[in-house]
A and B are shown apart, each in its own frame.
Chain A
Amino acid sequence: MNIHEYQGKELFRSAGVKVQEGVHCKSVEDALAAYDSLGSKVVAVKSQIHAGGRGKGNLYCPNSGDLLMEGGVKIAFSRDEVETYSENILGHILVTKQTGPAGKLVSNIYVEAGCEIAHEYYLALLVDREEKQVLIMASTEGGMDIEEVAEETPEAIHKTWVNPSTGLLDSQKEDLGISLDLSGAALEDFVGMIGSLYELFVSNDCSMVEINPLVRTKSDEIVALDAKVGFDENASFRHKEWEDLRDYSEEEPTETRANEAGLSYVKLDGDIGCLVNGAGLAMATMDVIKLYGGEPANFLDIGGGADEAKVQEAFEIILEDPNVKGILVNIFGGIQRCDIVAKAVLAASEKMGLQVPLVIRLSGTMFEEGRAIIDSSDLDCTSVETLAEGAEAIVGLIGGGK
Chain B
Amino acid sequence: MAIWVQEDSKLLIQGITGSQGRFHGEKMVEYGTNLVGGVTPGKGGQNIELAGNEFPVFNTMMEAINQTDADASVIYVPPPFAAAAIMEAADAFHQIKGEGVIVCITEGIPTLDMVKAVAYVNEKEGIRLIGPNCPGIITPGDNGGCKIGIMPGHIHAKGRIGIVSKSGTLTYEAVAQTMSIGEGQSTCIGIGGDPVNGTGFIDCLSAFEADPQTVAVVMIGEIGGTAEEDASEWAAENMSKPIVGFVAGSTAPPGKRMGHAGAIISGGKGTATEKFAAFEAAGIHIARDPSEIGAVLKVALEESGLL
| A contacts, CB < 8 Å to B | 98, 127, 129-130, 132-134, 146-147, 163-165, 202, 205, 207, 232-235, 237-238, 264, 266, 268, 276-284, 286-291, 296, 299, 301, 304, 332-335, 363-365, 386-389
Knowing A234-B109, A264-B259 touch, does A332 contact B169 (C-beta < 8 A)? yes
A382–B25 alpha-carbon span in the complex (Å): 36
Which chain B residue shows the least CB distance to A284?
Answer: B248
Which 4 A-B residue pairs are closest in the complex by CB-CB distance?
A280-B167, A279-B259, A278-B169, A280-B170
Evaluate contact between B263 and A279: CB separation under 8 angstroms. yes
| B contacts, CB < 8 Å to A | 79-80, 108-116, 118-120, 135, 150-152, 155, 165-173, 176, 193, 195-196, 220, 222-227, 230, 246, 248-253, 255-263, 267-268, 272, 288-292
Interface of A is mostly: mixed
**Residues of B contacting A235 with CB < 8 Å?**
110-113
Which chain B residue shows the least CB distance to A255?
Answer: B256
**Residues of A contacting B111 with CB < 8 Å?**
127, 205, 207, 232, 234-235
**Residues of B contacting A301 with CB < 8 Å?**
259
A102–B262 alpha-carbon span in the complex (Å): 26
Knowing A266-B253, A279-B193, A386-B291 touch, does A130 contact B226 (C-beta < 8 A)? yes
Evaluate contact between A304 and B168: CB separation under 8 angstroms. yes
Max count, chain B CB within 10 A of own CB: residue among A165, A304, A334: A334
Identify 5 residue pairs between A and B in the complex whose beta-carbon atoms are under 8 Å apart, listed by A's number: A147-B267, A202-B112, A235-B111, A284-B170, A296-B251
Give which listed residue, A130, A205, A276, A304, contacts B110 with CB less than 8 A: A205
Give which listed residue, B116, B248, B261, contacts A280 with CB less than 8 A: B248
Evaluate contact between A132 and B118: CB separation under 8 angstroms. yes
- Min Cβ gap A224→B in Å is 21
Evaluate contact between A232 and B110: CB separation under 8 angstroms. yes
- Min Cβ gap A18→B in Å is 25
Evaluate contact between B112 and A232: CB separation under 8 angstroms. yes
Evaluate contact between B258 and A299: CB separation under 8 angstroms. yes
Which chain A residue shows the least CB distance to B200?
Answer: A130
**Residues of A contacting B256 with CB < 8 Å?**
266, 299
Evaluate contact between A127 and B291: CB separation under 8 angstroms. no
Max count, chain A CB within 10 A of own CB: residue among B119, B193, B225, B291: B291
Evaluate contact between A237 and B173: CB separation under 8 angstroms. no
Assuming A129-B225, A279-B222, what are 7 further A-B pairs, CB within 8 angstroms?
Answer: A147-B267, A238-B80, A280-B248, A280-B259, A281-B170, A290-B250, A299-B258
Evaluate contact between A234 and B258: CB separation under 8 angstroms. no
A68–B68 alpha-carbon span in the complex (Å): 73
A239–B53 alpha-carbon span in the complex (Å): 41
Evaluate contact between A279 and B268: CB separation under 8 angstroms. no
**Residues of A contacting B108 with CB < 8 Å?**
234
Tell me the total A-B contact number using a CB cutoff of 8 A.
Answer: 175
A234–B113 alpha-carbon span in the complex (Å): 10
- Min Cβ gap A211→B in Å is 16
Which chain A residue shows the least CB distance to B196?
Answer: A132
Give which listed residue, A165, A205, A284, contacts B119 with CB less than 8 A: A165
Evaluate contact between A283 and B248: CB separation under 8 angstroms. yes
Which chain A residue shows the least CB distance to B220?
Answer: A280
Give which listed residue, B151, B222, B250, B261, contacts A334 with CB less than 8 A: B151
Max count, chain A CB within 10 A of own CB: residue among B166, B170, B267: B170
Evaluate contact between A281 and B225: CB separation under 8 angstroms. no
A389–B289 alpha-carbon span in the complex (Å): 11
**Residues of A contacting B257 with CB < 8 Å?**
266
Evaluate contact between A287 and B261: CB separation under 8 angstroms. no
Evaluate contact between A334 and B251: CB separation under 8 angstroms. no
**Residues of B contacting A388 with CB < 8 Å?**
289, 291-292
**Residues of B contacting A147 with CB < 8 Å?**
267-268
Knowing A129-B225, A287-B248, A387-B173 touch, does A237 contact B115 (C-beta < 8 A)? no
Evaluate contact between A266 and B152: CB separation under 8 angstroms. no
**Residues of A contacting B262 with CB < 8 Å?**
129
Which chain B residue shows the least CB distance to A296?
Answer: B251
**Residues of A contacting B226 with CB < 8 Å?**
129-130
Evaluate contact between B289 and A332: CB separation under 8 angstroms. no
A363–B169 alpha-carbon span in the complex (Å): 11
Evaluate contact between B169 and A280: CB separation under 8 angstroms. yes
- Min Cβ gap B128→A in Å is 15
Evaluate contact between B115 and A283: CB separation under 8 angstroms. no
Evaluate contact between A282 and B259: CB separation under 8 angstroms. yes
Which chain B residue shows the least CB distance to A291?
Answer: B289
Give which listed residue, B112, B150, B171, B248, contacts A127 with CB less than 8 A: B112
**Residues of A contacting B155 with CB < 8 Å?**
364
Evaluate contact between A304 and B268: CB separation under 8 angstroms. no
A266–B169 alpha-carbon span in the complex (Å): 19
**Residues of A contacting B253 with CB < 8 Å?**
266, 268
A344–B276 alpha-carbon span in the complex (Å): 36
Give which listed residue, A129, A266, A284, A304, contacts B196 with CB less than 8 A: A129
Evaluate contact between A234 and B261: CB separation under 8 angstroms. yes
Max count, chain A CB within 10 A of own CB: residue among B112, B116, B223: B112
A140–B267 alpha-carbon span in the complex (Å): 20
A333–B114 alpha-carbon span in the complex (Å): 28
- Min Cβ gap B283→A in Å is 22
Evaluate contact between B250 and A237: CB separation under 8 angstroms. no
Give which listed residue, A205, A291, A386, contacts B288 with CB less than 8 A: A291
A365–B226 alpha-carbon span in the complex (Å): 33
A309–B258 alpha-carbon span in the complex (Å): 22
- Min Cβ gap A283→B in Å is 4
Max count, chain A CB within 10 A of own CB: residue among B113, B155, B169, B256: B169
Evaluate contact between A282 and B110: CB separation under 8 angstroms. no
Which chain B residue shows the least CB distance to A299?
Answer: B258
**Residues of B contacting A281 with CB < 8 Å?**
167-170, 173, 248, 290
Give which listed residue, A130, A280, A289, A363, contacts B193 with CB less than 8 A: A280
- Min Cβ gap B63→A in Å is 26
Evaluate contact between A287 and B251: CB separation under 8 angstroms. yes
- Min Cβ gap B178→A in Å is 14
- Min Cβ gap B14→A in Å is 19
**Residues of B contacting A264 with CB < 8 Å?**
258-259
